Amino acid sequence: MPTAFPSPDRTVRRAAAPGARSVLVLASLSTTAAALWLLWVSVTVLPARDPARAGAWRIVAAALLAFAAASLASLRPGVRGAAERLLLTALGVVAVGIGLGAAVRILGIGRAGGHFEGYLLLLGALVALHGAAALAVALSPAQGKAAQDA
């Protein structure tokens, strides 16, 4: 029986993708900023204070930049294939796992009386949230429709 109003389920699905896409853009830009800060610290501060870890942090910064670039690239018009969604899903799962793992680990170190590094908590939370936004876009049933309408 036809009605004058669209199904609430359809309305929510159509509205979810653009909102998730906006959050993914914001998360990608935030991750880019954090990665550039981390790269700057690894080049200017760590060589004098902790040279053994400077290279590892540069690799982390490069990985964060790559994740942000892949996330933004997935939002381009015309990118809506299964391979792209699978890649974004995989990156999102890895990011959530690594981000939550880092946050939980540093909280555990702090609770045990160890040296608490607040930036690691923030970085872990940011990576986890970025991963969750990537998953929301990749798994959104409206992603293909929203991308076609854009």
Please report whether residue 51 resides in a domain: yes
pLDDT at 10: 45
Please report whether residue 2 resides in a domain: no
Q: Could you tell me how many helices (H) and strands (E) the chain has, helices first?
A: 6, 0
Please report whether residue 100 resides in a domain: yes
pLDDT at 91: 97
The one-digit pLDDT tens for each residue of the chain (150 residues) are: 555 544 444 443 344 467 899 999 999 999 999 999 999 999 999 999 999 999 999 999 999 999 999 999 998 887 668 888 999 999 999 999 999 999 999 999 999 999 999 999 999 999 999 999 999 999 987 544 444 444
Specify the number of domains making up the chain.
1
**In contact, 61 and 40? CB cutoff 8 Å:** no
**In contact, 136 and 68? CB cutoff 8 Å:** no
Please report whether residue 1 resides in a domain: no
Sign of torsion, CA 142 146 147 149?
A: positive
Amino acid at 31: T
Please report whether residue 4 resides in a domain: no
Please report whether residue 15 resides in a domain: yes
Rounded to two decimals, the pTM is: 0.81
pLDDT at 149: 47
Residues 6+ apart with CB under 8 A from 98: 124, 127, 128, 131
Which residue range(s) make up the domain with 140? 9-149
